[in-house]
């Protein structure tokens, strides 16, 4: 193997320099983990700040959903605000994943749609725009602590949609 090829292969293995990801323009970079959510100046709030050098995954503790009023209040917000009468009768799952910082503020919302066979699917915007707008409007995300320190963490909501109607919200 020649030196140039050796260095190229080493670069690809060590730095994953062929991966397509957007890096931040104005936010500090955090250590990369699987499915990290990097700052995107086109959709994210530039005033949203992380408090730690690492965003914890949901499985880093056993506390589950931390939302003021619990899941019933969260479900109520979607029941009151989501209008199934204006959407097409689509079926599948919509996941909204986002970051909650150590102050309980949320941003960096990312959406993924999938059909019931878990294949990626683009839902009609009348569905996804409503879900995203309601999720962004939610106040009351709890502060998560790990070993006595407040931490930034990933949170997700998964909406089971049947004929345009929300039938279940996870977690």
Residue 162: predicted pLDDT: 97
Do the Cβ atoms of 157 and 135 come closer than 8 Å? yes
Question: Does residue 47 belong to any structural domain of this protein?
Answer: yes
Do the Cβ atoms of 98 and 38 come closer than 8 Å? no
- Name the CA radius of gyration of the chain, rounded: 19
Mean pLDDT estimate for the chain = 82
DSSP 132: H
Question: Does residue 1 belong to any structural domain of this protein?
Answer: no
Higher pLDDT, 143 or 15: 143
Measured CA to CA, the distance from residue 36 to residue 53 in angstroms comes to 12
Question: Does residue 92 belong to any structural domain of this protein?
Answer: yes
Question: Does residue 85 belong to any structural domain of this protein?
Answer: yes
Q: 10 Å Cβ neighbour count for 128?
A: 20
Q: Which residue has the tokens 């749609």?
A: 113
pTM: 0.78
Residue 63: predicted pLDDT: 75
Question: Does residue 13 belong to any structural domain of this protein?
Answer: no
For the chain, what is the domain count? Answer: 1
Question: Does residue 108 belong to any structural domain of this protein?
Answer: yes
Question: Does residue 11 belong to any structural domain of this protein?
Answer: no
Residue 155: predicted pLDDT: 94
Whether 149 has a pLDDT exceeding 80, the answer reads yes
For residue 52, which of 35, 25, 29 has the smallest C-alpha distance? Answer: 29
Question: Does residue 138 belong to any structural domain of this protein?
Answer: yes
Domain enclosing residue 119, as ranges:
21-170
Q: Using H for helix, E for strand and C for coil, what is the string for 26-95?
A: CCCCCCCCCCCCCCCCCCCCCCCCCCCCCEECHHHCCCCCCECCHHHHHHHHHHHHCCHHHCCCCCEEEE
């Amino acid at each position: 193997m020649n030196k140039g090829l050796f260095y190229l292969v080493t670069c690809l293995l060590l730095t994953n320099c062929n991966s397509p990801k957007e890096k931040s323009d104005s936010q500090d970079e955090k250590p990369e983990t699987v499915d990290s959510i990097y700052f995107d100046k086109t959709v994210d709030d530039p005033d949203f700040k992380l408090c730690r050098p690492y965003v914890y995954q949901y499985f880093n503790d056993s506390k589950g959903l931390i939302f003021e009023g619990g899941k019933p209040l969260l479900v109520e917000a979607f029941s009151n605000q989501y209008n199934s009468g204006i959407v097409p009768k689509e079926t599948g799952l919509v996941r909204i994943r986002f970051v909650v910082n150590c102050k309980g503020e949320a941003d960096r919302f990312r959406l993924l749609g999938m059909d019931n066979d878990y294949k990626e699917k683009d839902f009609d915007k009348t569905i996804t725009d409503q879900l995203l707008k309601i999720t962004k409007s939610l106040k009351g995300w709890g502060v998560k602590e790990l070993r006595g320190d407040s931490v930034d963490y990933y949170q997700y909501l998964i909406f089971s949609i049947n004929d345009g109607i929300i039938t279940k919200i996870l977690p």
